[in-house]
Amino acid sequence: MTALTATWRRLFLPQANGGVPAGVFVAILAALVIVAIFAPLIAPYNPDTQNLMGRLKPPGTEARGTYYLLGSDELGRDLLSRVIYGARVSLSVAVLSVILSGAVGITLGMLAGYRGSWVEVVVMRLVDIFLSIPAILLAIIMVSVLGPGFTNVVLVLALTRWPRYARVAYGQTLAISNQPYVRLARAMGAGPLRVLFLHILPNILAPLAVVATLEFGLMVLFEAGLSFLGLGVQPPTASWGAMLSVGRNYVSTAWWIATFPGLCLFLLVLSVNLIGDRLSAYLNPKSR
C-alpha cells in the first residue's frame, strides 16, 4: 500500500506545471467520466427536447417552465443537458478508437518486431505511408467515402491512428525479443502467439500506455473536429464539436453556445495531456 501511495505522490503531487497539482486534472477527468456514465441521472432535461419559445436564452433564464442554467441553443434545447450528454459522445468515441487502434497497431507492431523478414518490411512501410498523410486529411477522405456517423468515426479514427502504436510496439519488441527470458521461452517450445502476448506484451506496456494516453486526448480533439466540420456524429446527437459549430454561427448573439462545450473540451484534453506528460516523465526519468 505504501508503494502505491508513493507512486501516486510521485505521479500527481509534486509541483506540477503551473503550480497546479496534477491531482486536480485527475479529478477533472474522473468528474467528466462520471458525468458521461450517469448522464441521464444528472442532466436536468432531455438534451433533444426543443422549445421554440425558449430559443437562444442566455444562461440563468427561464422560459416555459424550463430553467436554462447555461442558456439554450438555437432550437431552445437546454445547453447544460446537451453538454452533459456531449461528454458521452466524446469519451466513448475516444475510448473505442483508442482500444481499436491500439489493438491493431500493437499486434502488427509486435509481429513486425518479432518475426522480422517480410512482415517487418510490409508493416513498417505501411506505417510510414499512413504517417505521411496528415491525419486529419486521411480521416476526412475516409469519412467522405464511408459517410459520417458514430461507428464510421470510430472506424476511421482507428484506421488513421494505428501506426502510432505499431511504431512504438515495433521498437520495443525489437529491443526485447533477444532477451534471455524470451529466448528461453522460445527454446522451451512456446509458440509465437504465446511469446508475444505472454512474455513480450506485458513488458512493453508502459511506453504504450503513454502513447495511448496522449492519443486519447488527440482522439477527443479529432472527434470534435470532425463533428465541427459536420463529418462526425450527426445531429441531433449532442456532440461538443457540433455544438461549437452551431455556436460559431451565433457568436454575435449567443456567446454561451460555443463557450461551454469548448470549455469542457479544453478541460478534458488538457487533463488527459497533463496526465500523459506526467506518466511519461514518471516512466522515463531521463526526460525530466
* Shortest distance, position 39 Cβ to another protein, whole Å: 21
Looking at the Cβ atoms of 81 and 152, the one nearer to another protein is 152
> Least distance (Å) from another protein to the CB of residue 112?
16
User: Cβ 147 to another protein, closest distance in Å?
Assistant: 8
**Cα gap 177→154, rounded to integer Å:** 32
- Residue 252 CB, nearest distance to another protein (Å)? 5
Question: Quick one: 80 or 124, whose CB is closer to another protein?
Answer: 124
Instruction: Name the 3-class secondary structure at 129.
Output: helix
* Distance between CA atoms of residues 223 and 212, nearest Å: 16
Residues in contact with another protein by CB under 8 A are 15, 17-20, 125-126, 128-130, 132-138, 140-146, 217, 221, 224-225, 228-231, 241, 244-245, 247-248, 251-252, 255, 258-259, 262-263, 265-266, 269-270, 273-274, 277
**Shortest distance, position 284 Cβ to another protein, whole Å:** 14
Place of cell 513498417: 124
E strand or H helix at 61? strand 61-63
Q: Which residues contact 228 (CB under 8 A, 6 or more apart)?
A: 241, 242, 244, 245
Using the structure block, give the residue that is written with the C-alpha cell 511506453: 207
Q: DSSP secondary-structure letter at 196?
A: I
Among 129, 140, 115, residue whose Cα is nearest residue 192: 115
45 vs 250 by CB, closer to another protein: 250
The residue among 206 and 270 lying less far from another protein, judged by its C-beta, is 270
Cα 11 from Cα 283, distance rounded (Å): 10
Of 127 and 195, the one with the shorter C-beta distance to another protein is 127
- Judge contact between 112 and 166, C-beta under 8 A: yes
